[in-house]
């Protein structure tokens, strides 16, 4: 149930933001802009979803730390 509520609220938030930005996006008439905008929105929803549900997905900081750790230990 919480998953559905979280997803619906995130999508609603995204729709509100799209409504706010719609005029500027239309004025620009740029396909790359629309694609990037949609991609950023999806990334935002995914990160929001992970955060709200506290999913056990390793954060970028943990991944970066794992990459850097061997260098520091040397």
Q: For residue 44, which of 36, 33, 56 has the smallest C-alpha distance?
A: 36
Task: Categorise residue 70: left if φ over 0, alpha if ψ from -120 to 50, beta otherwise.
Answer: alpha
Out of 1, 2, 61, 73, the residue judged to bind other proteins by CB under 8 A: 61
Nearer to other proteins, 5 or 35 (CB): 35
19: number of CA atoms within 13 Å, CB side? 6
Which positions lie near other proteins, rule CB under 8 A? 13-14, 17, 20-21, 24-25, 27-28, 30, 32-33, 35-37, 40-41, 43-45, 47-48, 50-51, 57, 59-61, 64-65, 68, 71-72
């Amino acid at each position: 149930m919480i998953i559905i509520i979280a997803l619906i609220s995130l999508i609603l938030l995204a729709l509100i933001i799209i409504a706010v930005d719609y005029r500027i996006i239309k004025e620009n008439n740029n396909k790359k802009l629309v694609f990037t905008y949609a991609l950023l929105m999806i990334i935002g929803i995914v990160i929001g979803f992970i955060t709200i549900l506290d999913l056990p997905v390793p954060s970028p900081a943990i991944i970066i730390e794992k990459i850097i750790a061997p260098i520091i230990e040397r």
